[in-house]
Amino acid sequence: MKRKLLLFDMDGVLLDPGGYRQSMKASVKRISLALGLVGFELSDNQIAHFEALGITNEWDTLAISTALILIKVWQFEPDVRLGSLLPRAVPITDQAPGIDAFLGSFEPFGNLPNRSAFEKLILEHDDLTPGQIEHLRKILFEARDIHRSLTLPGYQETVLGSDVFERNYGLPSQLAIDSYLTMYDRPAMHHKTRSSLLDWLSKPDHAAGIMTNRPSAHPPGYLSSPEAELGEQRAGLGGLPLLGSGMLAWFAVTQCDLPEHTFLKPNPVHALALMLMCLGEETQHALTAACDLWRKKGNREDWARLDGAVVTIFEDAVKGFEAGEAARRLLETVNVGVEIKCIGVSRNSIKKQTLIRLSDRVVESMDEIAWEEF
């Protein structure tokens, strides 16, 4: 009997990610007001456009949006800089930043879209002063550093709530708010669909795991937050193998001396390690084997149980599909054959257009899935 594995993205697949979306909208609005731009809110379509371009890390979306707000405000007040999150006493403008135009011609390169955004902005705005360029550099290049970023602390406090934020990061709160994940996240599956999935998982050689770029728990010695674990519980699927960005970053930095983003999907290590975890392997051993294969030092013994397996990936963005296909190619190098199937999940027309190019099928909801098909 062939092994059958299901790899689920979390946000947009297992969860309707209201918490992150509302945190993003609240954070962009808060920063906009702090910079003196009034009346602007990031739209659902603009967020979907970021994601369709592969910019699925909200920290990056927030930093790029902030940079574009600054570009607009500098047309009126060139000395404005982001400092406090309090609203500016005297507004500067109500003209919207050029987010749609920017995204319409943006081609991010690699896993660091903020660097691509920085290069595009300074190329297109040759009137920027050295001080403005340096401020954009700080906004964009430090967007993922909780201790140095000008945008991330307020966003993370909105996501986690002030109490959890202070306990997790040891930083003072600025906002005195409750967690938006708790308030706005909703399970994406109807309870009947989830029950049917759990029945499917009870059968021999059936397994599933969660492949998410959400921050997650990790061994001591690194800084992340357990947002993926909170999401897994909120989705009603606690106990599934879970591989999130916290563990991947910890492994990259502390075990491989590599940048923290290295193994995030679309890197195949993300998918490969989760496949082994679905078969019961301990997380660090799975990551080590996956990294060895990625470095072309793998051996067939680590992967033989996957030979002939059918792996179905459920995603609302193409990064997971790319990770799965790259994983398939690497497994071929040790004579292990797996079949990768890709199911796109989205109601948004912009995202559908991107997903359909790499998907075997696109559905609007996980409730359209009949698990017996797998």
- Three-state DSSP class for residue 361: strand
* Nearest-angstrom CA–CA distance, 62 and 298: 38
Whether the full predicted model's pTM is greater than 0.75, yes or no, is no
**Lowest mean pLDDT: which of 98-107, 121-130, 213-222, 258-267?**
213-222
Domain ranges of the chain: 4-14+185-373, 18-180
- Three-state DSSP class for residue 282: coil
* Nearest-angstrom CA–CA distance, 230 and 244: 12
Structure confidence at residue 164 (pLDDT): 84
Tell me the pairing of strands 4-8 and 361-363.
unpaired
* Nearest-angstrom CA–CA distance, 111 and 145: 15
Strand ranges in the chain using DSSP code E only, listed in sequence order: 4-8, 15-17, 185-187, 206-211, 242-243, 310-315, 339-345, 361-363
pLDDT surpasses 90 at 351: no
Q: Which fold has domain 4-14+185-373?
A: Rossmann fold (3.40.50)
Percentages of the chain per state (helix, strand, coil), in multiples of 5: 50, 10, 40
Beta bridge partners of 361: 343
Chain segment 192-207, per-residue pLDDT in tens: 999 999 999 999 999 9
* Nearest-angstrom CA–CA distance, 189 and 195: 10
Structure confidence at residue 42 (pLDDT): 96
Reported confidence tier of residue 79, pLDDT bands at 50, 70, 90? very high
Reported confidence tier of residue 51, pLDDT bands at 50, 70, 90? confident
Reported confidence tier of residue 217, pLDDT bands at 50, 70, 90? confident
* Nearest-angstrom CA–CA distance, 371 and 202: 12
Write down the mean pLDDT value for the chain: 94
In angstroms, what CA-CA distances link 41 with 156, 365, 367? 19, 27, 31
* DSSP characters over 110-140: TT-HHHHHHHHHHHH-TT--HHHHHHHHHHH
Give the count of alpha carbons within 13 A of 345, CB side only: 24
Structure-token pair, residue 334:
């040790």
CB-CB contact of 187 with 236 (8 Å): yes
